[in-house]
Structure 1
Amino acid sequence: MARITLENLKKYYGNVKAVDDINFTVKDREFVVFLGPSGCGKTTTLRCIAGLEGVTEGNIYFDGRRVNNLGPAERNIAMVFQFYALYPHLNAYRNIVFPLRAQGMPKTEIKKKVKWVSSILKIEGLLNRKISELPDGDKQKVALARAIVRNPHVLLLDEPLSALDERFREQMRLEFLKIQKALNVTTVYVTHDQREAMTLADRIVVMRDGKIIETGEPESLYEMPQNLFTGYFIGSPGMNFFNCFIKPNGDVFCEDVLPVHFSVSISKKLKTYKLSNLIFGIRPEYLFFSDKPDKTSNFFAVKLVNIEVIQQVLYGNFYIDDKLYKCCIEEGEPTDYEGYVVASDEKVRLYDPENGKILI
């Protein structure tokens, strides 16, 4: 297997900085997901790791060996793309063995390899069927089989599920996870889908504008995002962020119009920062609607405009000024849409508006 190290990695296209000074190490046998919006540099980073793109500056190491000048075959990587890149006129078996025959591998060894990989992916019944006859999920399994049949040191996956419908995507997410654990291979996976990242990754690398914004385990990025972008991008619905103004006497107002009550504990922490502005972050499922506040907690008054169901959870929508926010409705639809939203201390996150970094 392999440990991958990216050292001061830069990739420019003219004046466009596709990858801008990335430093990161993928541990041996780790499943790392590069997550971010379109154009953030995640696929370019993957292609640099694969050797499909040359780097402008910086170095890439596999187990301490610099591979900048090595082609994809010399790096012993396998890559699965968004679109299957299979030969539709051939059956699944001939697609899978294509790279093995190109290497001149003996027929007996090829049969062993195909038996091994088809057993892992449970595609024994597909081997004699033409690619054009297979559903999308099975096509992606064949593409994956062709990639891993060579026992690569590194498996690279570039948005492999984005072309599938939701039913196949759900199934293939579980398949990818089982396969990676069975192969025990170092894996780098690129996606813009935070659900895929949260389901699959040992660690997530959040990217934006060619830079790494934050890295961490899925749970820590969800519960304690260290910056505003991560909090917004990870989660569905995303995190609420309230712009708050702090008066000299310590009173806090959301969007300059709505009084916010913070608990004694949070207020004490706030005083140590001596800020006049802050951003109050809370996930909608941790912000609860109530007809009366718990005055020992964190709360402010709201008026719900409507209620919606997202993934079997009731959420109330409310406006502050012209900005829409969400809170959780615990027990059925309330009879009165006017009330309070309440958050416990351990779920409150406060951010510095100057740099977007977490304070509490």
Structure 2
Amino acid sequence: MENIQCFRPTKAVIDLQAIRDNVVHLKNMLQPEVQIIAVVKANAYGHGDIEVARTAMEAGATILAVATPDEAVHMREYFPQVGILVLGATPISFVPYAAANDIMLAVFSQEWVEQAAKQNIDRSLKLHIKIDTGMGRIGVSTRDELQQLYDAITAASHMLVDGVFTHFATADEEDTKYFDKQVKMFKDFLQLLPKKPRLVHVANTATSLIKDASLQFDAVRYGISMYGLAPSPYVETILPFPLRPAFSLQTELVYVKKIKAGQSVGYGATYTAEEDCYVGTLPIGYADGMIRKLCGQNVLVDGKFAPIIGRICMDQCMILLPTAYNIGEKVTLIGTQQGVTISIDDWAGKLETINYEVPCIITNRVPRIYSN
């Protein structure tokens, strides 16, 4: 494990032991022989793909899932022997590389297969048929489409139906009506295949954690909860084991000044002090992913809440301090300080979004520092 030298005090600290624990706990509740597909797309949800992938594999994952061909290439450079699955659409130009480097591709178009068959490949291209059972993104959605796609793959030389999968739209919700409809459709479609592929996988994180074990099939795709976050507030109430968040965001005070009542702070002078107070400047801004809508969000200084005031700048933001502090005082934006916690879910609430989005928007300008 390598940590880059970091001069700027702003950094994301990734607890690899938390990720390890989250994988082990899932593995312990799976049926024997069920594989874990560690979802490390989008730079492992902003946590750092290589270190997270390595940790997940050490903890029991056997396959890595990404979203794009470029992510697959990056993974293959570091993991030459590990199964890699691209979950999203893939251009025809990537087919020779995928075949030569044993990268599994999602497929959902007969036309794509026919074009891919014209590529110069001399090794089996492993394809996973995506069935759209109700998500409405990619995937075949009729019996005829499935049959035509399957026939096109089996008719092509050097192509193999290695897997079949779907994605559930409401697995993290209490109402199971739509989920049950998707399950039934997938099982019906699965029966249409002349031969069961090597890997059948339908269970996303929520399905893996709270649904019937029969839906584990051959593998489960472990995403958001590998990072210690619940897929939804409902799932959080019925988790089978405690999750350990892996992501924290830290910085420190680079400037502290006392301002008088009536003085304003930041672009547009949107904050005006009602009384004399201390203002601290933090070296993090919207270019780091701390977008302007986070104005008013608390950070932690000396275990105490301190709100962000004024407009967040590109590289800096200001906070209202409870008292004067020295330059270099540690500040926690996400994480725990002196027993007080600000969570990713807190940020998600402020941003009116889901917890998935928060670590993903912290840009690569913020170095990831790894701890065990």
* TM-score (norm. length: structure 2): 0.28
* TM-score (norm. length: structure 1): 0.29
Larger Rg: 1
- RCO greater where, 1 or 2, for CA within 8 Å and sep 6 or more? 2
Is the strand fraction higher in 1 or 2?
1
